Amino acid sequence: MRTSLLFVGLLGLLSCQSSSNDKKNETLEVVPPKEEEIVLGDTISTQKEDFNLEEFSKKREEKLIKEKQIVAEAEKEKPTKPKVKKVKRLPVITFDQASFDGGEIIEGDIVKHQFKFKNTGKAPLEVTKAVGTCGCTKPSYPFLDIMPGDSAIIGVEYHSVGKNGLQEPEIYVYSNATVERTTLKMKFDVVDKVKSDEINQTDTIQ
């Protein structure tokens, strides 16, 4: 009986010793260092901690350039709106008659005539000046603006002193209208005063 108990106790002691040796022989699991994850664009690139910063910056710059190119191409493909031209509103000077035939006059006569005009445009009309082609023709013009639809006159005095025969003086009217200069024409047949008196005497005798 004692022999059996001793045998059992010896077996138990050996078992504990074997278990202790197994624990001592256990090896630790070596975990490799984690690698750093670097985001490049839409993909994740796994590199070690000593990654190439210059290469990373270069790739990032290339990506930005490509994105700009894509945006630029998309802008080109957008339909462009037609440009609407703005029509400038301008005054228009319109004369009832731009010429006047005074017929036969006696040398020394002064003939007065009025050229009537109207602003047929869509902006105020300003007559800046009126000039005769000779000193015998003296024009006058309105100093106030003529509103659209309103009318005014260019007055002219023709002095026939020292004139003889066919006379065709002109008046140049300058304004801010679509046509900057408008030409008015006059026509006279100037008869010498002496000859006119002789003709009148002949008519009286008859």
pLDDT (tens digit per residue) in 63-94:
888 888 888 877 777 666 666 667 788 999 99
In a domain, 175, yes or no: yes
Amino acid at 153: I
Under 8 Å between Cβ of 185 and 154: no
Residues 6+ apart with CB under 8 A from 103: 188, 189
Strand positions, DSSP E, 27-109: 36-40, 43-47, 93-95, 99-106
Under 8 Å between Cβ of 168 and 185: yes
Under 8 Å between Cβ of 111 and 158: yes
In a domain, 58, yes or no: no
- Residues 146-185 have pLDDT tens digits of 999 999 999 999 999 999 999 999 999 999 999 999 999 9
- Residues 96-121 have pLDDT tens digits of 999 999 999 999 999 999 999 999 99
The first and second tokens of residue 196, run together, are 């006119």
In a domain, 109, yes or no: yes
Q: Is 19 helix (H, G, I), strand (E, B) or coil?
A: helix
pLDDT at 28: 47
Does residue 132 carry a pLDDT above 70? yes
Under 8 Å between Cβ of 125 and 176: yes
CATH at residue 195:
2.60.40.10
Helices (H), 82-126: none
pLDDT at 198: 60
Mean pLDDT, the chain, whole residue set: 79
As a residue count, the chain comes to: 206
In a domain, 116, yes or no: yes
Number of domains in the chain: 1
Report the share of the chain in percent with pLDDT over 90: 49
Regarding pTM above 0.95, the answer is: no
Q: Is 202 helix (H, G, I), strand (E, B) or coil?
A: helix
Q: How far is CA 117 from the centre of its chain?
A: 35
In a domain, 126, yes or no: yes
Q: Which of 138, 177, 169 lies closest to 154, judged by CA?
A: 138
In a domain, 100, yes or no: yes
Under 8 Å between Cβ of 40 and 56: yes
Q: Which domain holds residue 178?
A: 93-205
Q: Which of 97, 95, 142 lies closest to 118, judged by CA?
A: 95
Amino acid at 204: T
Under 8 Å between Cβ of 130 and 173: yes
